Amino acid sequence: DAGVIQSPRHEVTEMGQEVTLRCKPISGHNSLFWYRQTMMRGLELLIYFNNNVPIDDSGMPEDRFSAKMPNASFSTLKIQPSEPRDSAVYFCASSFLGVNEQFFGPGTRLTVL
Amino acid sequence: TQLLEQSPQFLSIQEGENLTVYCNSSSVFSSLQWYRQEPGEGPVLLVTVVTGGEVKKLKRLTFQFGDARKDSSLHITAAQPGDTGLYLCAEAGGTSYGKLTFGQGTILTVHP
């Protein structure tokens, strides 16, 4: 069974550029979560969707960050413009709605120079 | 926002040793989960504890939930290099159903 798929696995970009991270949740899961992990702040929830609808985006750090879920099998997290402090590993996770077990993807390591 | 504190932050031990890591909260957990994250991968759920005083075992791992549901511990017996990783506790459920709040984690290194 395919788990959560994230792309790209690594992204190196320059400050000011737009970055788009992609996620395909596990088929049948109807909750999707975006997290950011850094050494300083640990694993932080950015936003999550239930049935493709954003439920809580209070963790999104700034207006530079946006997330969409156009359908049940795809989500994007966009940073525009990117800054060096956005460098982190970004994880996508999915679950069945109402079930607390989340399945994480392998993450995207973002480096903004 | 509930704060989860994990200790120790770092733990470096030799193969065969026992260890315990802790997760504490300023308030009562609805339920608590433990995850392990290996380098280059996402966290993987190990266990969920719900009832105060609950003890769960997963091979060499023993998970305890405090009677007051404000703390939890993970004990590993006879650690092996394969146990190396980041151990995270997370508060699950509560008023934000489906949302997890993670602790900072304990980085465990088991040397052969």
- Distance, in Å, from the CA atom of B112 to the CA atom of B108, rounded to the nearest integer, reads 13
Contacts with A105 from chain B: Cβ below 8 Å = 42
Consecutive 10-residue runs of chain B (112 residues): their mean pLDDT?
86 97 90 93 93 94 94 96 96 69 94 96
Q: How confident is the model at residue A101 (pLDDT cuts 50, 70, 90)?
A: confident
Q: What angle do CA A53, A47, A24 make, to 5 degrees?
A: 70
Q: What region does B85 belong to: left with phi over 0, alpha with psi -120 to 50, or beta?
A: left
Q: Is A71 exposed, middle or buried (0-12, 13-18, 19+ CB in 10 A)?
A: exposed
CB–CB contact A43 B48 (8 Å): no
Total length of chain B: 112
CB-CB: which of A43, A48, A91 is closest to B99?
A48
Contacts with B85 from chain A: Cβ below 8 Å = none
| Confidence at residue B82, expressed as pLDDT on a 0 to 100 scale | 95
Contacts with B40 from chain A: Cβ below 8 Å = 106-107
HSE toward the beta carbon, residue B67, CA cutoff 13 A:
0
Q: How confident is the model at residue A1 (pLDDT cuts 50, 70, 90)?
A: low
**Chain B residue with Cα closest to A48:** B99
Residue ranges of E strands in A1-107:
5-7, 10-13, 19-24, 31-38, 42-50, 53-56, 65-71, 74-79, 88-95, 103-104
CB–CB contact B98 A93 (8 Å): no
Nearest chain B Cα distance for residue A80, angstroms: 25
